Amino acid sequence: MKNYYFRLTQDPHFDNVSTAFSRQAPSFDEIESHNEILQWMRKQIHEHCLRHFKPEDFILELNSGTGIDAIFFAEHGMKVHATDISEGMQNVLRKKISEKKLEEKITTQQCSFTELEKIAFSKSAGTDVTSSPFDCIFSDFGGLNCVQDIGSVIKSFRQLLKPGGIVTLVIMPPVCPWEILLALKGNFKTAFRRFKSNGAASHLEGETFMSYYFTPSKIITAFGKEYEVKELQGLGSFVPPPYLENFPKRNPALFNRLKKLDEKFCHTFPFNRWADHFIITMKLKNRF
């Protein structure tokens, strides 16, 4: 399988995103390996995806990072075209592909999800696919929260997805119970940051960029009538956000109880909407 490269001509906002995640790329996997909350969250996401993705599916992954998800899907029999705006993240992923000998399962492309018209791909060496090739589109851990006009990104999926295809997105919503509770400690800036209509500043590796928060209803509306909702799952209604990484070590028994509550009520209103993230899976109807 081939790899493809484009020089990105983005606004400064996305330049900052690219720089920040490139700087974090060498330590990204180690950070997750020491964070029990992140590990639990990713396990829930993978279990969700396996309810909808099938072996042999061809997946377009957006903001693929170091390829933790791409490798998981490849090891479950799927093919993945892994895209990311960050050159550093792509470099780490390419090294993993080589080490694990997954060249026939995973291709890479440095490309922003705001420029999906630049997608180039092949299902097998020498065989280029030019129209609606993907069975699934996937974006993890709030990558799409970096764009204000998420509707324009979602509209671009239509030309890349097969009829009956699946889109699974992991998005940060405006209401996160744990963050709101931080107001009790006087941390009002974090407690209410998600409610800012013009987005909130995020800081990573010395770079600043904006994050925007979307309700499930806004996402469903952006997909339109061509799609139907297959599953809506909350992620982190009871379990604290990943940046409270010391919580499981200090409160192991409570952490286990909170995980069980999260898993029990993650499909129940309001816990499938009020959480650190939500996972939404949409299906493109075969006919419209």
Can you give the pLDDT at residue 126? 39
Q: What is the pLDDT of residues 158-167, one digit of tens each?
A: 999 999 999 9
Domain boundaries, the chain: 4-174+213-284
Q: What is the pLDDT of residues 220-275, one digit of tens each?
A: 999 999 999 999 999 999 999 999 999 999 999 999 999 999 999 999 999 999 99
Q: Quick one: pLDDT band at residue 18, thresholds 50, 70, 90?
A: confident
Angle formed by the axes of helices 87-100 and 12-33, to 10°? 40
Q: What is the pLDDT of residues 90-109, one digit of tens each?
A: 999 999 999 999 999 999 99
CA separation for the pair 81, 78 (Å, rounded): 10
* CATH code for residues 4-174+213-284: 3.40.50.150
Can you give the pLDDT at residue 45? 98
pTM: 0.92
Task: Tell me which DSSP letter residue 67 carries.
Answer: S
Residues 6 or more apart in contact with residue 181 via CB below 8 angstroms: 191
The two three-digit tokens of residue 137, written as one number = 């589109």
